[in-house]
Amino acid sequence: MSNHSIRIEHGDRKGVKISDGFSEEGSRITTSANRCVLFNILMNKFYIDFNNLNCADLCCGSGIIGFELLSLGAKKCLFVDCDEKKIKNINLAIEKTGFLAKTMLSFLPSLSIKEQFDLIYFDPPYKNNFAQQTVDMIYDNNLLTDNGILIIETILDIEVKKYKLLNLKKLKNNAKFLFLTK
C-alpha cells in the first residue's frame, strides 16, 4: 500500500492538494492522463459549461473527479462511496477547499436520493458485480437531468440501451469512458 498526494489539475483551484496521504489500497485512482482526456472531451467535444452544474461522483474513491468539476465551476457535488475512510478524507478536503459539497456513505446500487444531477461520474471497481445495477438505478430513479451526462469509467461491458451513447473513448489501460444521456 502506498500513499499519494493528489492535486487538482483543472480550473481555479489547479495545484491544490485534496489529499496528503490518500491510501491506494482497494482503489484505482483515475490517472492524471485519463483526467485530461475526460475533461478535454467534456470541454472540446460537448462544450460543457461547468458553471452551476449539480454533479455526483459515484464510487468516488479519492474524490478527484468531483473536486476537478468543482474547481471548473460546478455549483455543488455529491461524493458517494462505501468506504468510511475515503468519505472521511473527502470531508477533510471539502473543509480545506471550502467547496459546496456533501458526502454520502452508501453501497451502490442501494443509493437512495431524490436529487437530479447535470453530470454523474461513475467509476465502479473493475472487479464488481453492481455496475450494471447502478447504471439501471440511475436511469430508473431519474437521477440524471434531461440534458445531463452520465460518464462511466470501466473495463466491463455494461448494457446501456436505456441511454443514448454520446461518445466512447478507449483508454490505454483497457478501460473506456462511456458518455451517456437520456
Q: What is the 3-state secondary structure (H, E, C) of 109-160?
A: CCCCCCCCEEEEEECCCCCCCCHHHHHHHHHHCCCEEEEEEEEEEECCCCCC
Q: 36-94: per-residue pLDDT in tens?
A: 999 999 999 999 999 999 999 999 999 999 999 999 999 999 999 999 999 999 999 99
Model confidence band, residue 2 (pLDDT cutoffs 50, 70, 90)? very low
- In sequence order, what are the residues at sequence separation of 6 or more whose Cβ sits closer than 8 angstroms to the Cβ of residue 101? 66, 70, 76, 77, 78, 79, 90, 94
Residue ranges of domains in the chain: 3-181
The tens digit of pLDDT for each residue in 11-39 reads 999 999 887 555 555 567 788 899 999 99
- For 51, the enclosing helix (H) or strand (E) is none
| 3 has a pLDDT exceeding 60 | no
Start-to-end C-alpha separation, the chain: 39
C-alpha cell at 16: 491544490
Q: If you classify domain 3-181 with CATH, what class do you get?
A: alpha beta
In which band, very low, low, confident or very high, does the pLDDT at 1 lie, cut at 50, 70 and 90? very low
**Which residues lie across from 54 on neighbouring strands?**
76
> Beta 144-154 vs 176-181: how paired, if at all?
antiparallel
Residue 151 has pLDDT above 50, yes or no: yes
Helix (H, G, I), strand (E, B), or coil: what is residue 24?
coil
pLDDT recorded at residue 26: 54
